[in-house]
């Protein structure tokens, strides 16, 4: 295999895809947890349980998967190079936006665990669709490479 990864290229690609699966799965779950937390009484035992679930999801799945996805993904990107790979630029833009979404959801979770409800439940329900749309776009850019 060409590039600085050499024969490890396929292993790095495999790790990248696996951790992206974990990250996206977590991004599907976190907004759903926040939707459930939204209807709880601030300060209640039920809110505390949803806070704990959100924290575990963040610490065990979301944050490690985010970091691993970026590390393996950037390794692959530098291996193939950025010049002329406009599909890669588009993919990276979507991944940056997805990372911002991740950080926004985490921020909302922290605020909600303090009893605040900074957004409407409907906003959370709509935002819950973002990972699906981002995943579809990334798959198109990687597989079809439209440009």
Spell out the domain ranges in the chain: 6-144
Q: Are 37 and 50 in contact (CB under 8 A)?
A: yes
φ and ψ at residue 3, rounded to 5 degrees = 90, 175
Residue holding tokens 């990250």? Answer: 23
pLDDT by position in tens, the chain (length 147): 579 999 999 999 999 999 999 999 999 999 999 999 999 999 999 999 999 999 999 999 999 999 999 999 999 999 999 999 999 999 999 999 999 999 999 999 999 999 999 999 999 999 999 999 999 999 999 999 999
φ and ψ at residue 136, rounded to 5 degrees = -60, -45
pLDDT at 38: 97
pLDDT at 1: 56
Q: Are 37 and 51 in contact (CB under 8 A)?
A: yes
pTM: 0.94
């Amino acid at each position: 295999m060409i590039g600085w990864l050499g024969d490890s290229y396929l292993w790095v690609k495999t790790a990248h895809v696996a951790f992206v699966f974990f990250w996206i799965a977590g991004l599907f779950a976190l907004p759903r947890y926040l939707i459930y937390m939204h209807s709880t009484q601030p300060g209640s035992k039920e809110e505390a349980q949803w806070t704990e679930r959100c924290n575990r999801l963040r610490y065990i799945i979301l944050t490690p998967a985010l970091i691993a996805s970026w590390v393996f993904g950037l390794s692959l990107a530098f291996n193939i190079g950025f010049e002329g790979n406009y599909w890669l630029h588009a993919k990276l833009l979507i991944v940056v936006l997805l990372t911002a979404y991740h950080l926004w959801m985490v921020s909302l979770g922290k605020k909600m665990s303090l009893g605040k409800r900074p957004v409407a439940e409907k906003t959370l329900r709509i935002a819950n669709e973002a990972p699906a749309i981002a995943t579809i776009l990334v798959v198109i850019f990687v597989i079809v490479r439209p440009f």
